[in-house]
Amino acid sequence: MGESLAGRALTPAAERLARASALAGGGSDHQVWMALHAATNPDPLAAAVDALERARWALGPYAADFLDTARRRLSGG
């Protein structure tokens, strides 16, 4: 994952795993891959917003706590 984020694009291996997760019925694993894909967007603001939105789906009942933590960190709190 780190290589994908650093390169701002999914590596070929990450791309295969992301596609396989979609074929396997989706679920939270697929949402995690979609969050990673969103985070590789070359537009930093869009990457952050889209990755947070996808991560919200992956976290299910813990999403509210995750978003509160993200907001605190973004505001310097």
> Are 34 and 4 in contact, with CB atoms under 8 Å apart?
no
Please give the structure tokens belonging to residue 35.
Answer: 């969050």
pLDDT of 11-21, one tens digit each?
Answer: 888 888 877 87
Query: How many folded domains does the chain comprise?
Result: 1
Residue of 2, 10, 17 whose CA lies nearest to 38: 10
Domain carrying residue 24: 2-74
| Predicted model pTM | 0.57
Amino acid at residue number 74: L
pLDDT of 29-77, one tens digit each?
Answer: 777 778 888 888 888 888 888 888 888 887 888 888 888 888 888 788 6
